[in-house]
Amino acid sequence: MKEKNVIKNLIMVIAAVAAAIVPLCTLFKEGEYLYWQITKPSFWDMWVEIGIWGAVLIASFMFIKNKRVLLGVAGLLILAVSYLHSMLLPVLLATLWFLIICSFGSFLTGCSVTVITAGILSVFGACRPLSLMVTVGVAAVLFNVFKALTRRTRGNSNGARIGKENDCLKQDLAEVSDKKTSNDRRDCIFREFGNCSAELTGKERQLAVVTFIVVLLSILTQIARSNWSIDFDSLWYGLRSSYILSPNGSIFEDLKLVGVVYTYPKGFEIITLPLSGFASYAYIPVFNMMIFLLSLKETYRLAGHFTDRTGSLIACMITAVIPGIVGMTLTAKADIITWYLQLVILERFFSLTETEEGRTNKLFEIIAAYLLSLSMKPTSIVFSTVICFMMLVFVLVTRTRISGKPAFKYVAELILGAGAFAVVTLRTFLLTGLPFTSVFTGILTKLGFKLKYPYAVSSIPQNYQDESVLIVLIKRIIKMLIYPLGDDMDHVIIAWGTGIMLVLLVIIALGLLMGSLQSEENPSGSPRGVFPTGRTPAVRRADSQEFQSGEENPLRCQGEAFSMGQTSAVRRANVQETQSGEENPLRGPRGVFPTDRTLMVRRAVPAMFVFIPFVIVNLVSLSMLYQVDGNYFMLLYSVIIILGCAFMVRGRLSYAVIGVMTALAFFFMTLTNWASGVEFTPIEVNRGYYDYDAYYRGVLSAEDGRIYDFLEENPEARVMVFADHPDGLHFKCITESFNDCLSPWGNDEITRDSAAFYEYLKAAEFDYIYIDAGYVREWQVAAEILNGIRISEVMSEGENVLATF
């Protein structure tokens, strides 16, 4: 056993060295992508500030014992950083809106909430019926995690439920009233992110503190640089919802904006509609940060099906520093909430396979989360569908028994989720004639759907490489793991999984090939870390006795991963059950797999059912795309992280390697994001937010801003913009860029000549054309289109013109 551990550790170290050295020696060479980042003084100023935050947090945990004081320090640090970097108002209002959604979801699913919530909704401007419908649908799914923040919903690290749910806050108060030691009171901060069922051990407590600090530093980093990290896609459509989604109070108004992004599923944009239209663009990214924190909770719950608390905490810590995940919190894109819903789907599925209790409820949650994910992002049609389809196959093949009456709140959750999906899909259908757009339009038109004018059919993605698909795939896998450079990697380096993914994949491969090895620090010989054995109440009680007495639990399953061996006590109980016809209380739940197998196996098989097809679909996507987008693979990153933590051999060397790779991932996270903006907003006395209205008035104004002011006074005006994309879209009215109309986003038919384009302008009822002279000089196509259209100048500003046609 020790020899196998040595071999695994040696290979892991070699992989870690390669995963660290190759990127460091290539990405920072002079002239490469990250060279200019590390040579900027503002980057190192940023790291000085991060170091100060870390020192404050470490000192707080070293010298402050009261948990409430610790949380107060963390809260004050967040508020201080938010104010110093012009983010205080976005942090406060976006967090308030997030809590309102959670509270409203709690109300609709049977939990009491004050009537003030409805009043706040009205005042805040979310009472547009359609916006409210989608918001409520998401809120219903968010409810269970929101409740888990204050109530105990899980028993042990393996997902088994112990006893009845107890209110965590009440237990905390009871502990204080009993005058327990300060260390005991502090423990509950980290008890499984809200689970008060068991005390953390000394090492678990230390790891929980480290995880808490890493997560907080990650969030503070995003807050401090949010104002200077507004990305292309967010500026294009996600931040302009008040003008291009619902300018007149209805999301069904057909503005005939031909760019495909305007007909995407708009669930997330509808949810965050009350946060758009402000002078600052930072409100929606902060909302994404709140969803990210919920996702960490769901990551912990999902990891709990495959590993213990230590592994689950490590999974959360790694997830909190992956640039391809954390960087998406700085966007107004739907990637974070889609990823969260997919984590919910997976966690509820594995809960469903492990116990017969509440299976109908979990099934309703899975369906609701799936429908909502389809309402958020076009790629969900591929990635969410494949995992849900394989779940269905698993249930049918194994004849999993799902019976019982669902609780009202889960029925309400499903109804609201389905309603949200119906509204979002209906919008796309009424606008375009198709229920979904993006790469699926070609398939749908072949099925008989008719696409409306002026929208176009998109083709299936092609990689346009001269080499074979297999060679392209192999090269791209290598690039994504340790060398994200090249024309097809521009969207990977800004949403990268970093080299830690290679290390985790090696750990997973070694675990599968060589078997699960016992922990170096676990002398009892029981397998921990890979698909841990499910324990019934009797076994858990014996485990507890073992933990307290230091003796080995005779009821715990022995053997390596995927082993079907059972202890003599369990086998005797099985024989007694067979003879008596009664169910064995020492065995896991019936109805999934034959009862002579351990829960360890019953977790491995559903995991293979879902994860293997999911990985295959990701590989197909990776081989087909022309421009690989790293954010497409967020859920794949999570799966690799969780399984890697499950297969990891526990020991100081493993912890050291993972620690170093996590630190390196944090370093890359500070260097990259979707906007390539890394430095912090300058520290200064401010009004609590960064004024983007003033900034873009300067960008779009050649002289005194007359055109900008004129259009701001006419917010219902429709303007075709011939200017740099997407900066030219920031007039305070309904705008579309000429680039929107071109392939691959638009329709080549309406830009084939001046006559076709003029017909489109009339059909879409545009009022004005804005012409940036520099843009037209650079783009011959734009000049040729404009030369064939008679325009009448309304006003000019320098060389730029606002005209009618």
Per the omega criterion (within 30 degrees of 0), is the bond before 523 cis? Answer: no
Query: Over 50: is that where the pLDDT of 545 sits?
Result: no
Find the range with the poorest average confidence among 41-50, 698-707, 736-745: 698-707
Query: Which of 323, 621, 334 is closest to 494 using CA atoms?
Result: 323
Query: Over 60: is that where the pLDDT of 552 sits?
Result: no
Contact criterion met (CB below 8 Å) for 384 and 366: no
Query: Over 50: is that where the pLDDT of 555 sits?
Result: no
Place of tokens 């960064």: 690
Instruction: Work out the angle between the directed axes of helices 469-482 and 2-26 (0-180°, nearest 10).
Output: 90
The rounded distance, in Å, linking the Cα atoms of 147 and 153 is 8
Element housing 652 (H / E):
helix 652-671
Q: Which two tokens stand for residue 1?
A: 């056993």
The rounded distance, in Å, linking the Cα atoms of 735 and 721 is 7
What single-letter DSSP state applies at residue 734? E
Q: Which two tokens stand for residue 526?
A: 């029981």
Residue 274's pLDDT is 84
| Residues linked to residue 167 through DSSP beta bridges, in sequence order | 151
Residue 631's pLDDT is 92
What are the E-state strand segments in 176-286?
A: none
Element housing 208 (H / E):
helix 202-225
Contact criterion met (CB below 8 Å) for 318 and 641: yes
Cα angle 798, 800, 804 (rounded to 5 degrees) comes to: 130
Find the range with the poorest average confidence among 55-59, 506-510, 604-608: 604-608
Query: Over 90: is that where the pLDDT of 366 sits?
Result: yes
Place of tokens 């009424």: 430
φ and ψ at residue 628, rounded to 5 degrees:
-75, 125
φ and ψ at residue 461, rounded to 5 degrees:
-60, 140
Report pLDDT digits (tens) over 149-208: 444 333 333 333 333 333 433 343 333 334 333 333 333 333 333 343 345 667 888 999
Report pLDDT digits (tens) over 558-614: 333 323 333 334 344 444 443 444 333 333 333 322 333 345 556 788 899 999 999
Query: Which of 301, 246, 255 is closest to 275 using CA atoms?
Result: 246
Q: Which two tokens stand for residue 455?
A: 């929208």
Q: Give the pLDDT mean for 7-19.
A: 92
Confidence at 509, pLDDT banded by 50, 70, 90: very high
Instruction: Work out the angle between the directed axes of helices 380-397 and 335-354 (0-180°, nearest 10).
Output: 0
Q: Give the pLDDT mean for 46-75.
A: 94
Q: Give the pLDDT mean for 734-760.
A: 93
Contacting residues for 548 by C-beta, under 8 A, at least 6 apart = none
Report pLDDT digits (tens) over 708-726: 999 999 999 999 999 998 8
Query: Over 90: is that where the pLDDT of 85 sits?
Result: yes
φ and ψ at residue 276, rounded to 5 degrees:
-95, 165
Residue 568's pLDDT is 38
Which whole-number Å values give the CA distances from 597 to 348, 588, 603, 705, 726, in the listed order? 22, 9, 11, 74, 58
Contacting residues for 41 by C-beta, under 8 A, at least 6 apart = none
- CA dihedral angle for residue 218, residue 221, residue 225, residue 230, rounded to 10 degrees: 0
Query: Over 50: is that where the pLDDT of 356 sits?
Result: yes
Query: Which of 724, 722, 720 is closest to 736 using CA atoms?
Result: 720
Buried b vs exposed e over 122-146: b needs ≥16 C-beta within 10 Å?
Answer: eeeebebebbbbbbbbbbbbbbbbb
Q: Exposure of 778 by Cβ count < 10 A (0-12 exposed, 13-18 middle, 19+ buried)?
A: exposed
Contact criterion met (CB below 8 Å) for 343 and 638: yes
The rounded distance, in Å, linking the Cα atoms of 28 and 39 is 10
Which whole-number Å values give the CA distances from 244 to 696, 715, 743, 744, in the listed order? 18, 11, 20, 20
Contact criterion met (CB below 8 Å) for 155 and 163: yes
Instruction: Work out the angle between the directed axes of helices 335-354 and 359-374 (0-180°, nearest 10).
Output: 160
Query: Over 60: is that where the pLDDT of 331 sits?
Result: yes
Q: Which two tokens stand for residue 618?
A: 């990701």
Buried b vs exposed e over 645-655: b needs ≥16 C-beta within 10 Å?
Answer: bbbbbbbebbb
Q: Exposure of 176 by Cβ count < 10 A (0-12 exposed, 13-18 middle, 19+ buried)?
A: middle
Most confident of 126-140, 350-364, 443-457: 350-364
What single-letter DSSP state applies at residue 163? S
Report pLDDT digits (tens) over 748-797: 999 999 999 999 999 999 999 999 999 999 999 999 999 999 999 999 99
What single-letter DSSP state applies at residue 728? G
The rounded distance, in Å, linking the Cα atoms of 81 and 49 is 10
**For a pLDDT cut of 70, what percent of the chain falls above it?**
76
Place of tokens 């499950």: 646
Query: Which of 676, 672, 741, 732 is closest to 705 using CA atoms?
Result: 732
Residue 467's pLDDT is 87
